[in-house]
Structure 1
Amino acid sequence: MKKIIYNQFGDAGVLEMADVAVPAVSETTLLIKVKAVSINPLDWKIRNGEMKLMSGSKFPRGTGIDFSGIVEATGSSIKQYKKGDEVFGLLDVFKGVVLAEYIIAGEKDIALKPRGISFEQAAAAPVVGSAALQLFDTLLNVQKGTELLINGASGGIGMFAIQIAKMKGAIVTAVVSDNGLQAAKDWGSDFVINYRKEDVLKSGKLYDAIIDLSNQMTYSAAKKIMKPSSVYVNTAPGPKEIISSFFISLFSRKKYKVLMLKPSPVYLKELATYMKQGLAIVVSKAYRFDTFKTAYTEVPKAHIIGKL
């Protein structure tokens, strides 16, 4: 089978297509024929060597975290799924291997793909959808009337966060660029700010919670528009931010929290339920398997609406 691998850290140029054996199913795993793979910043952060402490440095390595596909074979202990089932899911976030024709997964790694949802849409959901669910499950108490600001809201996490926050009754303000205005409105934002024309930090409005998805609004800046008891969430923290968030939250009512994605089978099933209820999933572009270098060259530079 074909699989995308790399043998050294670097830019998209280190990626190559290799011929490898189809992985074997064990008693407790499934063989999945991959139909679509989502592209995430973590893919190139790992490939560039930024995450060595967590990902390790052993080569060759694969890439890709979340996927959709069709069950091809099952181990003898598998009870929930059968050959032919259409599924979606994600594997270990630091051992990307899903950009391949076939992968091995466990029952906890997948959920059934709802009918009416394309393979591309399903593959777009696991990482960013789980991140959005984790935000509201573990970091933020969002309920009816909560004033929520989402900075950089037109990408994957923002797409899910806006819609889920609205389902919980929050009053959502989305900060986006020109090309994200319509998407943020379509997803249900109550207020949409074009950061090229308006500085949200000078608006005078205060928020109960702020989610920064752009890695551009620091906690120090966000404090100006946070209510006395409020929460700021950094979704792309480095070691420095992780440490400082702990000490700031100890002594300030304006809490500083960080998102560290922890995948859960519960989140996948919850996402499937939201999909059945009509949650919008925008895939603004899809690349062919053999154009992987083009994809990983273009995407880091793109202002993405939804997912690619």
Structure 2
Amino acid sequence: MQAVVCSKYGNSEALSLKEVDKPIPKEKEVLVKIHASSVNYGNLVLLKGEPYLARLAFGLFKPKYSIPGGDIAGEVESIGTGVKQFQLGEEVFGDLSAYGWGGFADYVCVPEDALALKPKNISFEEAAAVPMAAVTALQALRNKGNIQPGQKVLIYGASGGVGTFAVQIAKSLGAEVTGVCSTRNIDILLSIGADHVIDYQKENFSQTQEKYDLILGVNGSQPLSVYKRSLNPNGIFLHVGGSGEQLFQTMLQAPWTSIIGKKKVRNILQRANQKDLIYVKQLLESGQVKPIIDRTYKLSEITDAFDYFSEGHAQGKVVITV
């Protein structure tokens, strides 16, 4: 089979399309014929080995996982012994980041717990755009942010992969949502249900009088102090992505902020979770959430896909067709 292989840390040129052995499912594993995958921030970390702290999990000197790719959507081609949740021919989607990655390939073998049945009302490409980004948004808002109906929520970086899902999931949970984005992305946010949109090219959200119960910083470049000023007295700031500097700043300040005041600062480390994926599946089936796809690339165009994604201006998700 064909697979994208990464044998050293670096830029997109470290990725190459090669012929590798087709995997065989072990006990409680499913062999999936992949139709589509997508690019996430975690793929960049795995490619570059940055921030360096991530190398403790991904390999100190070279990538521990040679075939990147976390999100997949495809069909069950064969199953190992003991598999109970899926049958041959069923359409599935899932997040492989906790199971050795491997999504940028024709086939992959994964534990059945990594997958869920694909919603019938969306395509393989749309399904591949969902798992990691949508579950990150869900875990941030519901688990870490304890979002409640009627709360005012600000999402900085609302037009990207996690951001577009966060807007829709926050709305489904009853929040009043303000999205921050550039001028060209305003229509996208309005189309997915944002109550208010702030164009950061024309207005600084922190200079308004509005205060928020929950702020989600998705790849946000603002100093932590700026977000904290816009929180209500009991508000929560959630850090998702962003610069390495902001990550360490949040890690250092989070405990201290919680001790000296009522405002909370928290980091989000997404974890693949089948129950959360099934929850998102139900939102997709009900029409409360829809994937936003910016561009689609072939597997042979993987370097172009990573170069575009690395620019940081994707509207929604970048998808790879296999």
TM-score by length of 1: 0.96
Give the match for residue 306 of structure 1. 316
Cα offset, 1:217, TM superposition: 2.3
Q: What is residue 6 of structure 1 aligned with on the other side?
A: 6
Tell me the distance in 2 between the aligned counterparts of 1:38 and 1:58: 19
Q: Which residue of 2 aligns with 1:69?
A: 74
- Secondary structure of the 1:299 match is helix
CA-to-aligned-CA distance 1:88-115 (integer Å, 9 cap, x gap): 0011358431100000011110000011
1:227 equivalent to 2:232? Answer yes
**In structure 1, C-alpha distance between the alignment counterparts of 2:155 and 2:172, rounded to whole Å:** 15
Distance 1:203 1:240, change over 3 A: closer
Partner residue of 1:281 out of 291, 297, 300: 291
Distance in 2, Cα, partners of 1:224 & 1:299: 31
Higher relative contact order (CA 8 A, sep 6+): 2
Match of 2:217 in 1: 212
Secondary structure class of the residue paired with 1:61: coil
2:200 aligned to 195, 199, 218, which one?
A: 195
Shift of 1:195: 0.5
State the alpha-carbon separation in 2 of the partners of residues 14 and 130 from structure 1: 28
Give the aligned length. Answer: 308
- In structure 1, the residue matched to 2:24 is 24
**Residue of structure 2 equivalent to 1:53:** 56
For the structure 1 residues 93 and 29, does the alpha-carbon distance in structure 2 shift closer, same or farther, using more than 3 Å as the test? closer
Structure 1's 202 and 106: CA in aligned 2 closer, same or farther, altered over 3 A?
A: same
Distance 1:140 1:244, change over 3 A: same
State the shift of 1:136 in Å: 2.4
SS at match of 2:296: coil
* 1:48-90 Cα distance to aligned partner (Å, 9 max, x none): 1112122113567111111101000001211111111000001
The 3-state SS of whatever aligns with 1:181 is helix
CA RMSD of aligned residues (A): 1.5
| Matches of 1:28 and 1:96, distance apart in 2 | 17
Which of 85, 97, 100 is residue 105 of structure 2 equivalent to?
100
1:55 and 1:94 in contact (8 A); partners too: no
Counterpart of 1:142? Answer: 147
CA contact (8 A) 2:58 2:65 kept: no
Q: State the 1:229 CA deviation.
A: 1.1
Shift of 1:144: 2.1
Instruction: Indicate conservation of the 8 Å contact 1:6/1:59, yes or no.
Output: no
Q: In the alignment, does 2:257 pair up with 1:248?
A: yes
1:141 Cα deviation (Å)? Answer: 2.1
Q: Does 1:271 align with 2:274?
A: no
Tell me how far 1:187 sits from its aligned partner. Answer: 1.1
Give structure 1 stretches of 5+ with no counterpart: none
1:239 and 1:201 map into 2 onto residues whose CA distance is: 22
> Is the 2:137–2:162 contact (alpha carbons within 8 Å) kept by the matching residues of 1?
yes
Which runs of 5 or more residues in structure 2 are unaligned? none
Matched, 1:291 2:301: yes
1:86: which partner in 2? Answer: 91
TM-score (norm 2): 0.92
